[in-house]
Amino acid sequence: MTTTIKPKPRERLLAAAEDLFYTEGVHIGVDRLCDVAQVSKRSMYQHFGSKDEVLVEMLKLRASHVMEGLDTAADAAPRDRILAVFDSLAAQAMTPQFHGCPFVNVATELKDRTHPAAVAALGYKLELNAFFEEQARLAGAGDPQALGVQLTMMFDGVSAYSVVRGEASPAARSAVEVLLAAQGI
């Protein structure tokens, strides 16, 4: 016997938002969001002030999940932790469901860095950058700050490559290894 416990409206809205904003873009309407979430508009506005609030909340949740995922390998060597991020990205980037980094996409589509969702996207990218920089520091990189930025750029470049081409390239990992080696890692 299978028991299906239906998530509550708030959770359904966040789940629908995660899917729709990624697969259809940031400009989906409230009707579409409520339709997929199976939540009335009245109920949506009881839980969130606006569609943008759903978007921001979803991005913050997603960012915290991603960063928690990076924390699970805390006992691995810093260099391996950096490379694992890129290996995970490459695995995702090869799937048909991949449409790039959801945070960069939101910033790209909004074209307004003052928008609360663009600010949330920036917040995530700063966290990812800080993760790379911290691992670089722990590994003894010559310039952890620059390496953190370079790895963040490479991460987004690998994503864009797959968005445009629909495939991944082994040249990505070798580029990361080159950037690490140049810093003595």
Instruction: Give the SS3 label for residue 111.
Output: coil
Q: Is residue 150 at the binding interface for its own copies, with CB under 8 A as the rule?
A: yes
Q: Residue 82 or residue 107: which is nearer to its own copies going by CB?
A: 107
Residue closer to its own copies (CB basis): 9 or 134: 134
Q: How many residues bind its own copies (CB under 8 A)?
A: 48
Q: How far is the CB of 161 from its own copies (least distance, A)?
A: 5
Distance CA 78, CA 144 (A): 12
5 lies in the site for its own copies, by CB under 8 A: no
Long-range contacts of 173-178 (CB under 8 A, 24+ apart): 173/83, 173/86, 173/87, 173/90, 176/82, 176/83, 176/86, 176/151, 177/83
Shortest distance (Å) from residue 6 CB to its own copies: 28
What x/- string results for residues 151 through 170 when contact with its own copies is judged by CB under 8 A?
-xxxxxxxxxx-xxxx--xx
Residues 6+ positions from 18 with CB-CB distance below 8 Å: 58, 62, 102
Shortest Å distance, C-beta 12 to its own copies: 22
DSSP conformation class of 115:
S
Q: Which is nearer to its own copies, 74 or 164 (CB)?
A: 164
| Three-class DSSP category at 1 | coil
- Is position 178 an interface residue for its own copies (rule: CB under 8 A)? yes
Q: By CB under 8 A, tell whether 100 contacts its own copies.
A: yes
Q: Is 90 in the site for its own copies (CB under 8 A)?
A: no
The yes or no reply on residue 76 touching its own copies (CB under 8 A) is no
Query: Long-range contacts for 61-64 (Cβ within 8 Å, ≥24 apart)?
Result: 61/14, 62/18, 62/102, 62/124, 63/103, 63/120, 63/123, 63/124, 63/127
CB 88 within 8 A of CB 109: no
Q: Contact residues for its own copies (CB under 8 A)?
A: 23-25, 27, 99-101, 103-105, 107-109, 111, 113, 118, 121-122, 125, 145-147, 149-150, 152-161, 163-166, 169-172, 174-175, 178-179, 181-182
